[in-house]
Amino acid sequence: MTRFQNGSRLLSYTFFRSKKTPSTSPNAALLQGNFQIQQHRHFSNLARVTTKEEKEPRWKDSMDKLRNIGISAHIDSGKTTLTERILYYTGRIHEIHEVRGRDGVGAKMDSMDLEREKGITIQSAATYCTWNGYQVNIIDTPGHVDFTIEVERALRVLDGAILVLCSVGGVQSQSITVDRQMRRYEVPRLAFINKLDRMGADPWKVLNQARSKLRHHSAAVQVPIGLEDDFQGLIDLVKMKVYYFHGSNGEKIVTAEIPVEMEALAAEKRRELIETVSEVDDKLADAFLTDEPISSSDLEEAIRRATVAKKFVPVFMGSAFKNKGVQPLLDGVLSYLPCPTEVGNYALDQTKDEEKVVLSGTPDGPLVALAFKLEEGRFGQLTYLRIYEGVIRKGDFIINVNTGKKIKIPRLVRMHSDEMEDIQEAHAGQIVAVFGVDCASGDTFTDGSVKYTMTSMNVPEPVMSLAIQPVSKDSGGQFSKALNRFQKEDPTFNVGLDPESGQTIISGMGELHLDIYVERIRREYKVDASVGKPRVNFRETITQRAEFDYLHKKQTGGQGQYGRVCGYIEPLPQGSTTKFEFDNMIVGQVIPSNFIPSIEKGFKEAANSGSLIGHPVENLRIALTDGAAHAVDSSELAFKLASIYAFRQCYTAAKPVILEPVMLVELKIPTEFQGTVAGDINKRKGVIVGNDQDGDDSIITVHVPLNNMFGYSTSLRSMTQGKGEFTMEYKEHSPVSQDVQMQLVNTYMASKGAE
């Protein structure tokens, strides 16, 4: 039994038990004594026996009654309205406000203008509510693919999800995107067909669309009684009961028998449900094939097994606006979505080159927690943590694996609407918030016994930059506050200064990425910013060896300057890990050793801006073979200047070339538009490297220079009638063609001349 090897961890658990259930048994007394006198290890065997029996059910019960879910949907499918009803029925809010309500209050989750861009809400990352004794955390799921890191984190935190579909609009483009993300991160899900009260509502059409477009293996678990204005209630196909929703807000559920005229339809749909589930569940298939009667509990268990295994998607129905069908959906979340221990989570072991490690997901293991969201609260930074393994306590010391810092937890809270509920400890599977912990979004915390990270620490390099500055001089403070916060929240967003123009430069993963941040600065911090033209981060490199021999001599009154450096520069071999190497190959003391660092510094500084277009030079090796020094006039400055001029002198002889970022672009487009899109890619100097079919869609993989990809999303939409989509990630820097190089150099020279 390895989990109790650590004496202190065992002891803290026994304390955790004894606080809740004071016991007079001699064993319990022993355990408390054991907690107080940690040195007495001879009690540990006895303690192991007692805790095993009383502790296992303790955390197991609370883990089984925990759900971490996200709600995602196409815009205007009723996601916010549904969340509002869930909060109302679980007692979290005491009155319902509509999204575009006349009372001017607006829905609870619609707290900002930017809500339209972000999906649910920005203010609360995890809303906590209880339903039938279960704890449900509803987690904010971001909708943008550009925020790859953020989407990945949010979906890592979810154990299950509700996909909301509109009964009139059906499966729309955003529904397909959201579903694809969930499939990529293997999130089990339920579907909820909303807006059955609207004109033209047709849930069966939507169900068929989900099967054909989303490739869902799905079936309805409910049948609506009446549609549009006649929508009255729902038939539960698992329990074969009818639910009617009475009361001013549909809070009174009346259970009745199935009306006679609906019996045939209900029986047919139940058979279809059993058939669909038995295709992916062997236990139910055996009962179905032998024509045994299938009880509601057998069917419920089979649906749960198939849903947790991601082989089946149960479809619920209702109308959130008319307060019908929300409570059975909540029951469905408890019945069919997994609890934290049923979901396999893995971490990356930093000591073994990011090898994947499967986490047990129980409170017994070492602490592993992920900071998935940061928020600027009234009391400073509030960090949301999802605990994957182990237990976290107020006052504990934890280690941030990404920075290596040791941090004490001053305050541990559970978010409860706008109020915070202080808690002493939390275990695996839970979502808590901590104050006063300085970290970035995506950092992993452990208790120091392991070095795991939940997401890869290899952050992709930013590929696009924009110059940005506040319009009014007074808003500089707010402007820098915004940039600092966004840098912490998103590791792919960088801020720097252009040394020549003195402008603030923001860099990120693409056009949309930077546009969203500029918009957020305007809305959240009320700072209007003017933005320059997007710039691509070019690099320069050399292609052949070139010698240098430079003497820097300056004689004025007093001490002069004297320094001579000789050697050569050459490109580094292909695939080398460093981008700049400096070799001191001087034998003897022709240059005193205390000047060597300033020579290296000079070359590094010179390599920061190549003479072609002023971008950094990389893949460069500098070898220093000879030189000369003067007893009086040589100084660090003299040698630094000598090396800068030496680099400039030999740079042109080394045949420099410009490197541009090449992107790996994956396009998903309907097959009928394939010719048009491929022609456009060729025009943008792209190379098609792969072409696959996925149903009616073509998936094309291409390598395209980023410089030719500006405004691509707009042109792709117009070429594919809005049905195409693409993802773009950085691949490598590769040399540009000769004509492009000439063009870039001429543009750079012209701008230099204008200055």
Q: Give per-residue pLDDT as tens, 284-301.
A: 888 888 878 888 888 888
State yes or no: pLDDT of 109 exceeds 50.
no
161 secondary structure, DSSP code: E
Question: 427 with 493: CB under 8 angstroms?
Answer: no
Reading the block at residue 99, the tokens are 């999204």
Question: 184 with 666: CB under 8 angstroms?
Answer: no
CB half-sphere exposure, 547, CA atoms < 13 A: 4
All domains in the chain, ordered by first residue: 59-231+315-336 (3.40.50.300), 345-454 (2.40.30.10), 464-532 (3.30.70.870), 539-654 (3.30.230.10), 659-742 (3.30.70.240)
Q: For residue 155, give Cα distances in angstroms to 34, 140, 386.
A: 41, 9, 12
CB half-sphere exposure, 571, CA atoms < 13 A: 13
Residues 6+ apart with CB under 8 A from 261: none
State yes or no: pLDDT of 198 exceeds 70.
yes
How much of the chain exceeds pLDDT 70, in percent? 82
**321-332 pLDDT, tens digit each:** 888 888 888 888
State yes or no: pLDDT of 464 exceeds 50.
yes
State yes or no: pLDDT of 227 exceeds 60.
yes
**137-184 pLDDT, tens digit each:** 887 665 444 555 666 667 778 888 888 888 887 777 667 777 777 777
Q: Give residue 482's pLDDT.
A: 86
- For the chain, what is the total number of helices (H) and then of strands (E)? 19, 38
Q: Give residue 755's pLDDT.
A: 62
DSSP string of 373-397, one letter each residue: EEEEETTEEEEEEEEEESEEETT-E
Question: 119 with 72: CB under 8 angstroms?
Answer: yes
Other CB atoms within 10 A of residue 126 CB: 22
Mapping DSSP to helix (H, G, I), strand (E, B) and coil, where does residue 280 land? Answer: coil
Reading the block at residue 360, the tokens are 């047990």
Residues 6+ apart with CB under 8 A from 589: none
Mean pLDDT computed over 405-412: 85
Q: For residue 471, give Cα distances in angstroms to 178, 511, 528, 685.
A: 36, 21, 6, 37
Determine how β-strand 419-422 pairs with β-strand 411-416.
antiparallel
Question: 561 with 600: CB under 8 angstroms?
Answer: no
Torsional sign, CA 419, 420, 421, 422: negative
Question: 591 with 599: CB under 8 angstroms?
Answer: yes
Which of residues 243 and 87 earns the better pLDDT score? Answer: 243
Q: Give residue 703's pLDDT.
A: 92
- The whole-angstrom separation of Cα 586 and Cα 622 is 13
523 secondary structure, DSSP code: H
Termini Cα distance of the chain: 73
State yes or no: pLDDT of 12 exceeds 70.
no
Helix or strand holding residue 565 (H, E) = strand 561-571
Strand partners, 233: 225, 244
CB half-sphere exposure, 607, CA atoms < 13 A: 21
Mean pLDDT computed over 84-98: 74
CB half-sphere exposure, 606, CA atoms < 13 A: 24
Mean pLDDT computed over 489-513: 76
Q: Give residue 515's pLDDT.
A: 81
